[in-house]
Structure 1
Amino acid sequence: MLKPKKTKDIGAISYVQCPAKTYEDKAGNKQLGRTVFNHCQIVGEVAKELIKRSPAAHLFPQGSAFTAATHDIGKVSTHFYNKLHDACKLELLPNINFELEKQWGGHAGVSQATAKALGAPEYIAEILGGHHGFAPNLGGKTALAEQFGGEAWQSERKKLVEALEDALQEKWPQVASYATARLIAGLTSVADWIGSGQHFDNPNDDWQPKIQQALDEAGFIKPTIQTGLSFEQVFGFSPREAQSQLIEQASKPGVYVLEAPMGLGKTEAALYAAYQLLEKGLASGIYFALPTQLTSNKIYDRFNAFLTQILAENCPHKKALLLHANAWLMETEMGEEGRPGGAWFNQSKRGLLAPFAVGTLDQALMAAMNVKHGFVRAFGLAGKVVILDEVHTYDAYTGTIMDALIKLLKELDCTAIVLSATLSQKRRQTLIGKPTASMAYPLITALAKNSEQVIEREVTPPKASLTQLQLIQDENLALEEALKRAEQGQQVLWLENTVKEAQERYLQLAARTKNLGADCGLLHSRFTFEHRQNLEEKWVNLYGKPAWENHKKGNG
């Protein structure tokens, strides 16, 4: 027979006695952990240190760390009190079913209601309410609601806020813009994640000396950049005209667009411009965004080779993270738990916090979208160089979100470098945010931070080449022509509209090429990830830049 849980009939509990956490003792028993005040103070001090280490520190108004500290003031409430006491098999407050707190977003909802009742400036209450990644639905409840403990418990929450003001010597800030609000919201969540880590579990341990260690182990260490490297030292060849012009223009935060055909070295130009900004201390890292998993996988290797050249030997961030839906399946050896730049950043919502990353555009777009923990991504991008590649491939819907992202990046002191085969003048103007005049191609369009003047630089086009196209209506003739060229040692790419058609065509070609001594492969989207990855590695390299460079050297 189940025994009823012990309850105690008591009014509001002092905020000093309200627990924020539980932990397991050496015997494996769950015990009450740090108090709400203690946890909030730790998170506030972690936030202060995060701001100190941020290259975008000047974007945080005084009081940002205090905002982070007050994220859990809603834990001073009847339902949360019972939730932790129940977990530790301790006495409960009577007539309180803590399962019901889900209806108003739990303690985060109480934090939001409390801040609003205390007259917090615009955005602050919503930042506190959303620190778990979503906006709580309070259903019209105020801080004095019976479910939150009424006036007696609100009085304790007010005392907690005053105690935190005293401890941190800060108050809630006036937040000037939506972009700043997202930045502070990201700071709040990240500081909470770190301040809730293993270093701060045991309430009997001294927490102050562990803040630096916790941030170091999470990877918040400024990258060490080798200075004075020339373009040729980084990439092994001299810059072309288009590359030199982009590097000259992208010398400070702003928005820069390079339109040029394949083969002009847009990738190297963008990376060296990013290197110069890192070297000058005008950027804290790089995110390289591409349209697909395949393109981001291929750039990832080149990006890591670039990092090897520009980072000091003792820099912990020697390898970028790869960020897309299947990146966790890649065998990239990104490092063990606890190593700077290692597994802590490797969780999906934390990836953009790493100094260097390559991934799909959607990972960056979420910084400007109303998605769970989108503001953490905004915090992670602040002060970085964000390279947006193959922009011509995006549809109107994605383009609209990209416009919002670039607007946000400008407000977060980022450098946005847009790479594209070609753009319409209207699209270029939207990306830059100013009227443009030039119809030249190739073209560099630049708008530096705090500048009203758009600079347009025409680039000498590459030497024209003539490509002959032949339309063959007869499938059998086309098949024979492809086989003849393969036999001559030429590379042949055959495209079909569907996976089924590609499989059927492959069987036809493979049977014939075997007798010719030519390799024949099949690529489509229905392979298992591992199989597809191996095939892409083989065939993309055979058709891509490494194979062409090998051919030019006379090795194939």
Structure 2
Amino acid sequence: MRVRDPLADESLTSVFTELGLSQEICAQLGALWGKSRKVGGGQINLLVSHLLDTAAVAGQLWDFYLPQQTKRLLNHISDGQGRRFFMWLCAVHDCGKACPAFQSVDAEGAALVRAAGLTWVDRRLRRKRWRHDKAGGKLLHAVLGAEWDGKHTEWVWPLVAGHHRAFPSKAVLGSVEATGEHQGRGGWPTVQRALLDVVTRVMGYEHLRQVQPHVVPSRAEQLTLSALIVMADWIASDSRPGRFTGIDAIADVSPAGAKRRASAAVKSLRLRGGWGPLEEPPAEDLVRHRFGDRSRPFQKTLVDVVRQMPEPGLVLVEAPMGEGKTKGALAGAEVMAARFGSDGVFIGMPTQATSDPIYSQVCRWVAGFDEELVAQVALLHGKKMFHPEWKELWSARDGSPDAPFEGVDCDEFGMEDTYGLGGAVVSERSGPALWFLGRNRGLLTAFAVGTIDQLLFAATRTRHVMLRFAGLAGKVVILDEVHAADVYMSQFLTEALRWLGQARVPVILLSATLPPPQRRALVDAYLHGALPQEDVPLDHIPTPEGYPSITAAYAVEGRAAYICRSTGTWRRSQQVEVQWLEDVSDEGDVVADRVRREVTDGGVALVILNKVDRAQSVYQHLEASFPSQVHLLHGRLCAAHRAERTSACVATLGPGAQRPERMIIVATQVAEQSFDVDADLLVTDLAPIDLLLQRIGRLHRHEGIWRPEHLRRPRVLVTGAVPSASPLRVHPASEAIYGRYLLLRTAALVEEAVETTRKATSELKAGDGGWLIPAQVPELVAAGYGDDALCVPGIRDEEHKAYQEWREQEQNRAAAAEPFLLARRDEWSKPTLEGLHFTGISAREEQDLQALVRDGQSSLEAVIVRRVSGGYTALSGEPIGVHAEATEYAREAVLGGLTRLPAQLTEAARELAPLDGWRDDPWLRHFPAMVLEEDGWAHLGDYRVGYDSELGLIVRKTN
């Protein structure tokens, strides 16, 4: 096969001559427009110019951005012609614009096309029914169908038909519009074919038959390629001066010129990948090499297991709290990346708050490879503007994540940026790759830290899902605290793992421990994606014999294979005494009284309650007795207060800190995980056993801590329930969150531990009762989620009924997620992306997506401000003017009032909007304001809402 270098020609004249195109066809190609004057930088951009620009960008992406894994895929598909084939795919993405439905949209462009002899009947065009992406799919299906093997035509045309958000079904190819005036008759088919032939020749192929792939990629790999086409298109649509301004004369269109424009544009956007080709680190203590700490036994075992894996796979890590799972996972990810061609990592955490410290850690880790790579570490959550390291890196001088990115064509006809997909204003400062600041694009950075939601979004049937998935496909994916996913979220998690398995993406899952059914479901999902047939039996998944444990699962030669290792923990297990503290009141006076007595002579107590109102009440009781020694932490604090208090607690009670004589933290579930504090005493509401053990992970967490005599043995008081009542009474908020069945089983385990504590005390063997933590963690979790009846009086009788209700609820919740999954069960055998978005979901804003993957109403956030005479102030009291026109100086103070509203306020809060003075602010214009009147209250529906500097958000029903 004779090929030449893509984009080598300085003009199109020789290409036209080689193809034997008539002057009429050349004139028509020179009239077809791709960007109107409005979005072409003040000048029409010819269609052939935009196609060559996009191909040139693709070449730059190959050279400076694509992971080795993706390059290997493209080379595999095209028999070693990966770069050229990728450029061709990107070049033909907008071929559908060569049809009347598109060319008639802009009056100026339409007149030029008609003057060249290409016509249509206006009254027959229903333009919104036939967009250029669908037209391109139709054109490729027809032309390639005559040149290629059908199996290759079938997977390529959806990439073009779906490059604007969604993949249509094949039925669109036979629609009235596809066969009528919309697609084009008369001379249109000839010029459409000529356009494809020109682009193909410029890419260095002699004819379309030479382009035919050799291998059909998997559906997940096709999804990745589709996103890269979108990425190239978006970059080539930037019509600002110095980028891709319009070229309206065919004589000025130059393949080599497109190459020069693309090189300059990618350089100015600071677009680059991550590690690039990475050498496998030597077999030494990798954790010590990267972090300075000697490897713990579990960390060394994890790295050893990863080195033994012959193929990408899933590694499931179960280890106690504080064992160093994150550092071990990062070390394992480095080995995986070197072996399998990944270019970076994504780390998914359970919450925004837990993402922040990991972001800082990843920045330091990445800097160990190359200081410049720190600019490629993205923090992906809505409050990143409060993170000091992120603020320093993403300077305001570089624009905001939502600044205009002109020329991106995301409406029906590629006319304007109706979705506000922002890029950034480029400054002269050497800094991060600004293109990644935009919405839908942050996950495409080489290194990303965010909530697990970012991964769950990639498993939804939503627009632009291909960009989210591609952002994962070139990385090692690390997910922490995976046990926190409930049955609804787990549907999206397992769906994502199926796609990642099919795309051969290495995955590391971290958890304190997992119930056996959940462990099996996660491994099953990945392997069913990785294996060619879905019905491969996986019954022999090994069960770890010890704790901590590492289980690796991967596909090799069409079969599932496993490595399972267990090792010892780095610190000794300790006996935790367990006691009941009966109290189910919202006031929590019993809890407050007991804590007051426990710390009268000093000590640190952590109180974790399941309801904000209950936590606020307990805080008030205790603060009255111990002024300034009690700290309240929950999800209804404004962003500034929550960040300040979390940081203060960790600084005071973290490892090596100078501890106060007395301190009490009253918190909700925000203190359940990734909260590195050490408490002498834990008081906690009843929760499912795995979450209860997570809370116990804060108890006597660090070694070498001096503790008061009466708190030297770790002790947990379980409240939020009345076990002496028959039936068992549980706080209603706890039942609403977790369901009664799991709480019953946990209560039974607590009761058994309480009995062993009582027995040990009566036999003068204090410290021998309760639970041995962490040694007993797997055993307790398996019992809490197992099928065996827990025979405890008062609980046994209602367990079966509660189980039936729980199982029905779980089945219903799992079924409720299915319509939103990226691929339904009956679609997994499909070989292409055709029809993927049939009955797709319109959710696009992050809060709507969060509601989608977390089975709830969208939880809104609002910026709280105060109305004063003469204007407004920030929640902190900072004056912000008559119209709230916050200056850049005051913006941070205003955003400090960002507060998540409880679910009961969601509907009423939808009426809130940004204040007038925020409309041009790059950050504030995206947040609704909740204005507290001069009396300190706002009215939302049937509620009065206020904010107390100590208690946080206060919600009162008005009737």
The TM-score with structure 2 as length reference comes to 0.51
1:306–1:79 CA distance, 2 compared to 1 (3 A): same
Task: Note if 1:32 corresponds to 2:54.
Answer: no
Corresponding residue to 1:379 among 470, 479, 483: 470
| Equivalent residue, structure 2, for 1:4 | none
Partner Cα distance (1:377, 1:523) in 2: 32
1:96–1:497 CA distance, 2 compared to 1 (3 A): same
| Equivalent residue, structure 2, for 1:453 | 561
1:230–1:130 CA distance, 2 compared to 1 (3 A): same
1:141–1:542 CA distance, 2 compared to 1 (3 A): farther
| Equivalent residue, structure 2, for 1:270 | 329
Partner Cα distance (1:538, 1:97) in 2: 68
Contact 1:143 1:150 in 2 (8 A): no
Amino acid at match of 1:102: K
- TM superposition shift of 1:487: 4.9
Partner Cα distance (2:122, 2:641) in 1: 54
| Equivalent residue, structure 2, for 1:362 | 453
| Equivalent residue, structure 1, for 2:29 | 15
Contact 1:30 1:87 in 2 (8 A): no
Amino acid at match of 1:15: L
SS at match of 1:210: helix
- TM superposition shift of 1:241: 0.7
Task: Spell out the pairing of 1:37-56 with structure 2 (5 A cutoff).
Answer: 37-52=48-63, 53-56=66-69
With 409-418 and 90-99 compared, the bigger mean Cα shift is at 90-99
Identity %: 26
| Equivalent residue, structure 2, for 1:481 | 594
| Equivalent residue, structure 1, for 2:360 | 301
- TM superposition shift of 1:75: 1.1
Contact 2:163 2:226 in 1 (8 A): yes
Contact 1:234 1:306 in 2 (8 A): yes
| Equivalent residue, structure 1, for 2:378 | 321
Amino acid at match of 1:246: L
Amino acid at match of 2:378: L
The TM-score with structure 1 as length reference comes to 0.85
1:481–1:457 CA distance, 2 compared to 1 (3 A): same
1:158–1:90 CA distance, 2 compared to 1 (3 A): closer
Q: How many residue pairs were aligned?
A: 538
Contact 2:104 2:110 in 1 (8 A): no
Task: Note if 1:523 corresponds to 2:633.
Answer: yes
Contact 1:117 1:143 in 2 (8 A): no
| Equivalent residue, structure 2, for 1:7 | none
Partner Cα distance (1:498, 1:471) in 2: 19
Structure 1 runs not aligned, ≥5 long: 1-9
Amino acid at match of 1:134: A
| Equivalent residue, structure 1, for 2:261 | 210
Structure holding more helix per residue: 1
1:277–1:485 CA distance, 2 compared to 1 (3 A): same
- TM superposition shift of 1:460: 1.9
Task: Note if 1:312 corresponds to 2:370.
Answer: yes
Name the structure, 1 or 2, with higher relative contact order (CA <8 Å, separation 6+). Answer: 1
1:540–1:172 CA distance, 2 compared to 1 (3 A): farther
| Equivalent residue, structure 2, for 1:144 | 179
| Equivalent residue, structure 1, for 2:666 | none
Amino acid at match of 2:258: W
Amino acid at match of 1:446: A
1:521–1:258 CA distance, 2 compared to 1 (3 A): same
With 146-155 and 273-282 compared, the bigger mean Cα shift is at 273-282
Amino acid at match of 1:160: L
Partner Cα distance (1:218, 1:85) in 2: 36
Corresponding residue to 1:240 among 280, 296, 305: 296
1:491–1:418 CA distance, 2 compared to 1 (3 A): same
Partner Cα distance (2:37, 2:384) in 1: 33
Partner Cα distance (2:136, 2:336) in 1: 40
Contact 2:376 2:445 in 1 (8 A): no
1:493–1:74 CA distance, 2 compared to 1 (3 A): same
Contact 1:12 1:149 in 2 (8 A): no
| Equivalent residue, structure 1, for 2:271 | 219
Partner Cα distance (2:644, 2:112) in 1: 55
Amino acid at match of 1:254: G
Task: Note if 1:125 corresponds to 2:157.
Answer: yes
Contact 2:589 2:618 in 1 (8 A): no
SS at match of 1:237: coil
Structure holding more strand per residue: 2
SS at match of 1:444: strand
Partner Cα distance (2:162, 2:332) in 1: 36
Corresponding residue to 2:574 among 456, 460, 465: 465
| Equivalent residue, structure 2, for 1:79 | 101
Task: Note if 1:103 corresponds to 2:129.
Answer: yes
Partner Cα distance (1:175, 1:536) in 2: 51
1:477–1:156 CA distance, 2 compared to 1 (3 A): same
Task: Note if 1:509 corresponds to 2:622.
Answer: yes
* Offset from partner CA, 1:376-419 (integer Å, 9 cap, x none): 22222223111011111112232233223223223334211111
SS at match of 2:635: coil
* Offset from partner CA, 1:439-464 (integer Å, 9 cap, x none): 42321111356374311112224522
| Equivalent residue, structure 2, for 1:352 | 443
- TM superposition shift of 1:540: 4.8
Task: Note if 1:532 corresponds to 2:642.
Answer: yes
Partner Cα distance (1:168, 1:243) in 2: 48
- TM superposition shift of 1:99: 9.6
Amino acid at match of 1:236: G
* Offset from partner CA, 1:338-369 (integer Å, 9 cap, x none): 56643311223111211101011221233343
C-alpha root-mean-square deviation of aligned residues, in Å?
3.5
1:246–1:213 CA distance, 2 compared to 1 (3 A): farther
Structure 2 runs not aligned, ≥5 long: 1-23, 79-84, 146-152, 206-210, 399-423, 528-537, 658-675, 679-701, 708-959
Contact 2:218 2:502 in 1 (8 A): no
* Offset from partner CA, 1:114-159 (integer Å, 9 cap, x none): 2222245112222111111123584823543212333532332222
Task: Note if 1:414 corresponds to 2:521.
Answer: no
Contact 2:542 2:562 in 1 (8 A): no
